[in-house]
Amino acid sequence: MNPPDPSVSEIWDLLDQVPDPEIPVISVVDLGIVRAIRWRDGACEVTVTPTYSGCPATSVIETEIERTLRNRGIGKVYLKRQISPPWTTEWLSEKGRRNLERYGIAPPQNAGGPKQCPHCGAVKLELVSQFGSTPCKAQWRCRDCLEPFDYFKCI
């Protein structure tokens, strides 16, 4: 006898364990790209909105979501890519924002750049480059501790 299919709530919990491949301290759920989960005609349908249309990590993320669900015994998985409305940094969870900062990445702010250094908390900061380790981040430096850090850009 096969175990029962997991509930939608259990699937959300499962996907909260799938890390973003570019920023592994946050999950795809915390990143806000998993938009919906539902059972439809015996298949688990997961709606994913990429952070931007050309994001190179999207196919890796979708593969990991599918692998995670299949490892849980879900035989039919349907991934639906939704690009409208477009992803925004407002969809990042509070837990995700805290994890970014603990990892040394300044979380996105509504206006301007980062408000404080994620390493020491100082507020004297300078932009080094609009382009960081990934397209969604910029490189900044703290003028007090002199440490460089990524800032997750507002999108």
Tokens of 19: 């890390």
pLDDT the model gives residue 3: 66
Q: Is the predicted pLDDT of residue 80 greater than 90, yes or no?
A: yes
> Could you say which DSSP state residue 27 is in?
B
Q: Is the predicted pLDDT of residue 140 greater than 80, yes or no?
A: yes
Same domain, 79 and 108: no
Q: Is the predicted pLDDT of residue 110 greater than 80, yes or no?
A: no
- Calpha distance 28→116 (Å, rounded): 25
Q: Are 35 and 49 in contact (CB under 8 A)?
A: yes
Q: Has residue 97 been placed in a domain?
A: no
- Calpha distance 142→122 (Å, rounded): 7
Tokens of 3: 């175990």
Mean pLDDT, the chain, integer:
92
Same domain, 112 and 50: no
Same domain, 62 and 38: yes
pLDDT band at 22 (very low <50, low <70, confident <90, very high): confident
pLDDT the model gives residue 2: 64
What domain range is 17 assigned to? Answer: 8-89
pLDDT the model gives residue 52: 84
> Could you say which DSSP state residue 19 is in?
B
